[in-house]
Amino acid sequence: MNEDILIMYHEDDLDRGYRIDCKMRSKDNLAWIKRADFRIVYEELLHTHLIGMPEMPLEIAMDSVDKILASDIRFTPDKLKEKESGYEFKLT
């Protein structure tokens, strides 16, 4: 992350996003990623939203992240740690 910002969220928010991601991965017959690795993806998505639109309330950013996770965008777990940004998008 190039710009440092503090993002505070509840573990319930992370768990909700993780369940959405796992559900979509199951639907697409893809392997689940570990929750600890998902935290990196989740925080990076929130960070991207909040840097791009600093006036956006955190609750709206989290709803937007949930919608992204429920879409056809999948994060490739094999590339998670290889990318400088922490994740890679795979459009399906």
* Domain range annotation of the chain: 16-91
pLDDT at res. 34: 93
Q: Where do runs of H (alpha helix) occur along the chain?
A: 11-27, 35-52, 58-69
pTM recorded for the entire structure: 0.70
State the DSSP code for 86.
S
Closest CA to 45 of 25, 27, 26, 67: 67
Is pLDDT at 90 greater than 50 in this prediction? no
pLDDT at res. 17: 92
- Rg value, the chain, Cα: 13
18-54 pLDDT, tens per residue?
A: 999 999 999 989 889 999 999 988 888 888 888 888 7
- Strand 89-91 and strand 73-75: pairing? antiparallel
Terminal-residue alpha carbon distance, the chain: 26
